Amino acid sequence: MTKLNTSKWTKYKLLRKSSKLSVNLPETAWLRESSFWRMIKKYGEIIIKPTGSYGGNGVIRIKKMDSSTYEVQDGAAKKSFTQYSQLNAYIKKKALNNNIIQRRIPLATVNDRPFDLRVMVQRRLDSPWEVTGKLAKVAGKGFIVTNIRLSSGKVVSLDYALKYSELKKMRAADLHSQLDKVALKAAQQLSPYYSWVRTMGIDMALDKEGNVWIIEVNFAPMLELFLKLKDKSMFQKMKSFHKSKPINRVN
């Protein structure tokens, strides 16, 4: 059996096989001119990103502003297209570089800045998956991506983000529980296809109504992100999982 690649698109298709996870997956498609117009018409705002890159590189947002104007945001820079031909040419160029298109989730915000979540799920040899850490990544001013390096954003605890967001009236314990449940389902769904993986960094999100979303799954997440939290206990727990003898990875 040929080993599956680890692209965002492949992992999305595997997650989509689970009927239990379908409600937690924002609609995603391979970028084509046809898929772009279908999804921008359906949602009004979409994200385009390379299927093989990480760290927020190459992520752009396109938003329909009115009947003839579309705003494209790349990093903190914005530009507008008012002619279909110009926007089509832009999309075709992006499509040549193996990009996927995804519904833009209306992320919950802290001080008007969107945040998403990194949920760490790990397992030891012959043991079940376990959630070992959660944190929130708050985008820098004017950015849509929450990557700390790219947007000069910040890392905060999930409880801090919830306390100062639109979700502050919801029970934090319930949101934690929902995130854990969905993250574990995602790991269980992917693990049969990637038997060598024992650590997954699942990028998740809460929208303004508190719904849980899976943005993407990383197999080589930076544990050091958790050192930015005052409480280092999650980092220490995650590191302990790496001390057990690793499963041989097939490259």
- CATH architecture for segment(s) 26-103: 2-Layer Sandwich (3.30)
Domain map of the chain by residue range? Answer: 26-103, 109-241
Distance CA 60, CA 37 (A): 16
**With 60 as the cut, is the pLDDT of residue 150 above it?**
no
Contacts of 34 (CB under 8 A, 6+ apart): none
Nearest in space to 150 (alpha carbons), one of 57, 43, 238: 57
Name the average pLDDT for the chain. Answer: 87
Class of domain 109-241: alpha beta
Q: What was the pLDDT predicted at 248?
A: 46
Sign of CA dihedral 138, 23, 31, 97: positive
Q: What was the pLDDT predicted at 52?
A: 74
pTM: 0.88
**With 70 as the cut, is the pLDDT of residue 249 above it?**
no
**With 60 as the cut, is the pLDDT of residue 245 above it?**
no
Nearest in space to 26 (alpha carbons), one of 182, 164, 140: 182
